[in-house]
């Protein structure tokens, strides 16, 4: 080609090792992109307007995260951090039955209170950040389409919003839906899917409460209601059902059987959250549920578990939204002070003695407070320790030191001028190891997820699960080869969501890609930043080793820094193939 000839491609990534997302053996190849699609894979002679030298790097599809909560952040922000920092190029939001559409003007406060309680997004942030230029789901979707972002987003229709929209206060009171209610919810569901929704989500867990302490409106929705709504998916001919449950009504097998009947009736796939609980009588529940899911899949019904690759961990700290003493009257009296002022006050021996003498539970607003035990609280440290040992627990260390566990916890919170965290695994870590996670992930029907990007902004930061999967299970443990690790992050999640146009490096597929220095992939210490609307704070965690992240052929991040390119869009409905 003559020197002055126009480039044949928009982008060419050369000399990389292509891990194509299918699980196939990696290979050395170039990847060319044209008009947002992969145009060629192999030895490419033609030039690109932009070229990336990927020698010594792996080239992967962009990661697809099917469990996030960017429903609010998508309204006010162009960058879906922290997920976008960890290789995610497509995220599904609207999980767990909570979201902001449909919503009548009179019910906005109800949905804000629910999102604040369930997903720990401060009400002041939502009041300032949400524009509320919508009522129906179609209008919400249209409002989101008007803003460009650094990643693509898919939206699920949230059950709580639909139930409140149709039933008003009766939904909040957990009244049984009438036949007319169910018919209306079925119609709304079908309309939402036709407008772009990827499916429907619901919650059946007592852990999900509004800011006022009320259980999520969907908690006691019966099978007739769920089946009616699911039939809305069938009416539209698209979409999947996402569910989170305690699996105790009356037991795991019975609850799963109900979900299976709903899936059999509507003919649409389902996914559900699966974790290893810490309560002794529930630690084996996940095995029952995997067996039920395996049997359903064998029988031709797609019901797949979604599980995290490590513990779901709460970060308790003075800068976060929760700490072990947040519910005490004395801490509440100083909670509004800046960090430096609070640290000074907490170092006062009189304040210390008073807080340690007070009940931390009676006045707590944290729904999970009763699940927090000092035997499973640990000094997080820097670099962060996600694999603490039993003897590292605050309870164990306090016993060795001849102190009480609350005394030690109090002092740990003051370390590093109040910036240290206490790490508290609440699932997948009952035996002080990840053997449960390993067994779950070894099942090919299990989907890796539950990072909750965009939610729990003040006490959980698990959106970096993709990076953890690569660093721990891939590089350090070598439990699975890189080809399988990448498959779990790309085609597996894409196919589960119905995104057949991405997740694989192949001609015609969407050009969402990562160029990764696999030997350097890692993550930094979580930190708090005050960049939400109304000056709200959130936890963030940077990554390393991502040389480039590409969405629709445009480089959105180089070495972890945003380029300013915003090619991300709302994905309208499921994509069976490259389009």
Average pLDDT over residues 238-253: 95
Does residue 2 carry a pLDDT above 70?
A: no
Output DSSP code: residue 290. H
Q: Rounded to an integer, what distance in angstroms lies between the CA atom of residue 477 and that of residue 406?
A: 35
Domain harbouring 262, CATH code = 3.20.20.140
Answer whether 74's CB lies under 8 Å from 149's CB.
yes
Do 306 and 340 fall into the same domain? no
Q: Are residues 320 and 287 in the same domain?
A: no
Total domains present in the chain: 2
| CA pair distance 336, 425, nearest whole angstrom | 27
Q: Are 38 and 468 in contact (CB under 8 A)?
A: no
Residues 377 and 440 in one domain: no
Confirm if 292 and 298 have CB atoms less than 8 A apart.
Answer: no
Domain encompassing residue 324: 314-427
Average pLDDT over residues 65-74: 97
* Mean pLDDT across 276-300: 94
pLDDT at 134 over 60: yes
Using CA atoms, how far residue 306 sits from 140, 482, 488, 495, in Å, is 27, 20, 11, 13
Q: Does 24 fall in a domain? A: no
440 and 402 in a single domain? The answer is no
Same domain for 303 and 344, yes or no, is: no
Residues 163 and 288 in one domain: yes
Decide if 219 is inside a domain: yes
Rounded CA gap, 471 and 519, in Å?
8
Residue 579: predicted pLDDT: 41
Helices (H), 59-212: 73-76, 108-119, 123-129, 137-145, 159-167, 169-172, 179-195
pTM for the whole structure: 0.96
pLDDT single digits (tens) 328-354: 999 999 999 999 999 999 999 999 999
* In the predicted structure, residue 1 carries a pLDDT above the cut 70: no
Residue 451 domain flag: yes
Q: Map tokens 């991405």 to a residue.
A: 502
* 228 in the same domain as 178: yes
Per-residue DSSP letter, 80: -
State whether 465 and 355 are in the same domain: no
Higher pLDDT, 369 or 290: 290
* pLDDT, averaged across the chain: 95
- List the single range of 45-54, 202-211, 261-270, 426-435 with lowest mean pLDDT: 202-211
473 in the same domain as 367: no
Contact 356, 410 (CB under 8 A): yes
State the Cα–Cα distance between residues 566 and 537, nearest whole angstrom.
24
Helices (H), 206-328: 223-236, 252-266, 285-298
Domain assignment present for residue 465? The answer is: yes
Contact 323, 368 (CB under 8 A): no
The percentage of residues in the chain with a pLDDT greater than 70, rounded to a whole number, is 98
Compute the distance between CA of residue 523 and CA of residue 383 in angstroms, rounded to an integer.
9
Could you read off the pLDDT of 138-159 as tens digits, one per residue?
999 999 999 999 999 999 999 9
Specify the pLDDT at position 6.
83
Is 148 inside any structural domain?
yes
Radius of gyration of the chain (CA): 24
pLDDT at position 361 over 80 = yes
Is a pLDDT exceeding 90 seen at residue 307? yes
How far is 502 from 578, CA to CA, in rounded Å?
A: 7
Does residue 245 register a pLDDT over 80?
A: yes
Residue with tokens 């037991």: 251
Q: What percentage of the chain carries pLDDT values higher than 90?
A: 91
Buried b (16+ CB within 10 A) or exposed e, 52-66: bebeebbbbbbbbbb
Q: How far is CA 479 from the centre of its chain?
A: 23
pLDDT band at 3 (very low <50, low <70, confident <90, very high): low
DSSP annotation string for 41-60: EES--S-EEEEEE-TT-EEE
Please determine, for residue 129, whether its predicted confidence score (pLDDT) is greater than 90.
Answer: yes
Query: What is the structure's pLDDT at 578?
Result: 45
User: Which pLDDT band holds residue 296 (cuts at 50, 70, 90)?
Assistant: very high
Give me the pLDDT at residue 370, please.
81
Domain-terminating residue out of 409, 427, 445: 427
Whether 529 maps to a domain, the answer reads: no
Q: Is residue 191 over pLDDT 80?
A: yes
Lowest mean pLDDT among 144-158, 273-287, 535-549: 273-287
- Of 392, 407, 427, the one marking the end of a domain is 427
């Amino acid at each position: 080609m003559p020197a002055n000839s126009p480039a044949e491609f928009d982008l060419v990534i050369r000399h990389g090792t292509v891990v194509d997302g299918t699980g196939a053996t990696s290979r050395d190849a170039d990847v060319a992109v044209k008009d947002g699609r992969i145009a060629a894979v192999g030895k490419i002679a033609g030039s690109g307007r932009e070229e990336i030298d990927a020698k010594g790097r792996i080239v992967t599809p962009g990661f697809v995260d099917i469990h996030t909560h960017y429903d609010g952040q998508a309204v006010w922000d162009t960058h879906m951090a922290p997920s976008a920092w960890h290789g995610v190029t497509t995220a599904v939001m609207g999980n767990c039955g909570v979201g902001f559409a449909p919503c009548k003007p009179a019910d906005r406060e109800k949905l804000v209170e629910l999102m604040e309680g369930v997903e720990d997004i401060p009400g002041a942030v939502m009041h300032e950040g949400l524009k509320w230029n919508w009522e129906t789901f179609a209008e919400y979707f249209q409002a989101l389409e008007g803003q460009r972002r650094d990643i693509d987003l898919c939206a699920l229709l949230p059950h709580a919003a639909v139930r409140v929209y149709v039933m008003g206060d009766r939904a909040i009171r957990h009244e049984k839906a009438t036949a007319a209610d169910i018919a209306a919810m079925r119609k709304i569901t079908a309309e939402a899917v036709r407008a772009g929704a990827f499916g429907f989500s619901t919650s059946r867990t007592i852990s999900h409460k509004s800011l006022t302490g009320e259980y999520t409106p969907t908690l006691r929705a019966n099978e007739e209601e769920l089946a009616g709504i699911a039939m809305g998916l069938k009416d539209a001919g698209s979409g999947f059902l996402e569910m989170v449950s305690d699996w105790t009504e009356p037991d795991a097998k019975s609850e799963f059987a109900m979900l299976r009947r709903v899936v059999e009736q509507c003919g649409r796939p389902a996914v559900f959250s699966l974790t290893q609980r810490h309560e002794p009588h529930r630690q084996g529940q996940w095995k029952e549920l995997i067996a039920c899911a395996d049997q359903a899949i064998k029988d031709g019904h797609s019901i797949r578990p979604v599980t995290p690759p490590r513990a779901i961990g709460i970060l308790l700290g003075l800068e976060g939204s929760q700490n072990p003493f947040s519910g005490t009257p004395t801490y509440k009296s100083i909670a509004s002070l800046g960090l430096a002022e609070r640290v000074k006050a907490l170092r006062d021996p009189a304040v210390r003695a008073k807080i340690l003498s007070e009940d931390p539970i009676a006045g707590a607003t944290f729904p999970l407070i009763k699940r927090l035990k000092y035997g499973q609280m640990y000094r997080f440290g820097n670099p962060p320790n996600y694999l603490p040992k039993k003897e590292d627990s605050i309870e164990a260390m306090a016993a060795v030191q001849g102190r009480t566990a609350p005394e030690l916890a109090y002092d740990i919170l003051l370390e590093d001028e109040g910036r240290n965290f206490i790490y508290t695994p609440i699932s997948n870590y009952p035996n002080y190891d990840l053997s449960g996670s390993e067994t779950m992930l070894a099942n090919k029907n299990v989907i890796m997820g539950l990072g909750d990007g965009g939610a729990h902004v003040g006490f959980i930061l698990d959106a970096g699960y993709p990076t953890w999967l690569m660093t721990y299970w891939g590089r350090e443990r070598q439990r699975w080869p890189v080809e399988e690790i990448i498959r779990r992050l790309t085609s597996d999640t894409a196919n589960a969501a119905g995104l057949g146009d991405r997740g694989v490096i192949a001609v015609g597929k969407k050009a969402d890609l990562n160029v990764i220095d696999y030997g350097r992939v890692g993550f930094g210490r979580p930190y708090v930043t005050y960049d939400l609307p109304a000056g709200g704070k959130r936890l963030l965690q940077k990554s390393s080793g991502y040389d480039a992240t590409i969405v629709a052929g445009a480089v959105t991040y180089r070495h972890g820094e945003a380029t300013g390119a915003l090619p991300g869009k709302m994905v309208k409905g499921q994509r069976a193939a490259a389009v």
